[in-house]
């Protein structure tokens, strides 16, 4: 067997293989760390997109706020945040996340028709400001639950 000084070829090969495996594991950990950091950033961006609405629809402010009127201006911002956050979830969570979004944004039973009027305090069972605000806050919190908060 070949040897250099007191190190054999087998030992040298073992050292090289060990170093290579360590290198692969370090790369894998680095990718996972980057992926996790990206998820944390996307989560923060999602929460930030809904922050103003959560504060404004809180029970302390509802007497002046019609949820429909207030949310109507924010839906485009919310939709953008949803679109940017969604890829950070696995397939199963994406489906649940989509359902939470549809419940918040769309008409019951139809995921393609926005139904912002569900938050109006002037129609159906949403006969007062407090009820429509509570419903909006609950649905926003359901969406935000996917961000790890």
Helices (H), 57-105: 67-72, 75-85, 91-105
pLDDT at 30: 64
Helix, strand, or coil (residue 123): strand
**Percent over 90 (pLDDT), the chain:** 35
Give me the pLDDT at residue 131, please: 81
Could you give the angle at the alpha carbon of 36 between the alpha carbons of 34 and 40, nearest 5°? 115
Mean pLDDT across the chain, nearest whole number? Answer: 80
pLDDT of residue 100: 94
State if pTM tops 0.75: no
When pLDDT is cut at 50, 70 and 90, the band that residue 10 belongs to is confident
Res 126 pLDDT > 50: no
Backbone angles phi, psi at 122, to 5 degrees: -110, 0
Query: Nearest 5°: CA angle at 126, between 113 and 68?
Result: 55
pLDDT tens-place string over residues 27-62 = 666 667 778 889 999 999 999 999 999 888 887 764
Does residue 149 carry a pLDDT above 90?
A: no
**pLDDT at 132 (0 to 100):** 82
Q: Which of 70, 48, 49 is nearest to 132 (CA)?
A: 70
The percent of residues in the chain predicted with pLDDT above 70, rounded, is 70
CA neighbours closer than 13 Å in the CB half-sphere of residue 33: 6
Tokens of 66: 């019609």
The pLDDT value recorded for residue 125 is 43
């Amino acid at each position: 067997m070949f040897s250099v000084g007191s190190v054999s070829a087998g030992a040298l090969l073992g050292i090289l293989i060990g170093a290579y495996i360590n290198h692969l594991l370090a790369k894998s950990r680095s990718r996972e760390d980057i992926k996790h950091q990206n998820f944390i950033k996307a989560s923060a961006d999602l929460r930030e997109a809904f922050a103003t609405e959560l504060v404004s629809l809180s029970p302390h402010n509802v007497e002046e706020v019609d949820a429909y009127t207030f949310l109507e201006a924010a839906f485009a911002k919310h939709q953008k945040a949803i679109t940017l956050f969604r890829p950070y979830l696995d397939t199963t969570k994406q489906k649940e996340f989509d359902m939470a979004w549809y419940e918040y944004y769309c008409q019951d039973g139809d995921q393609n028709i926005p139904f912002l009027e569900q938050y109006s305090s002037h129609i159906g069972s949403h006969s007062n400001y407090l009820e429509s605000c509570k419903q909006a806050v609950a649905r926003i919190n359901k969406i935000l639950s996917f961000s790890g908060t």
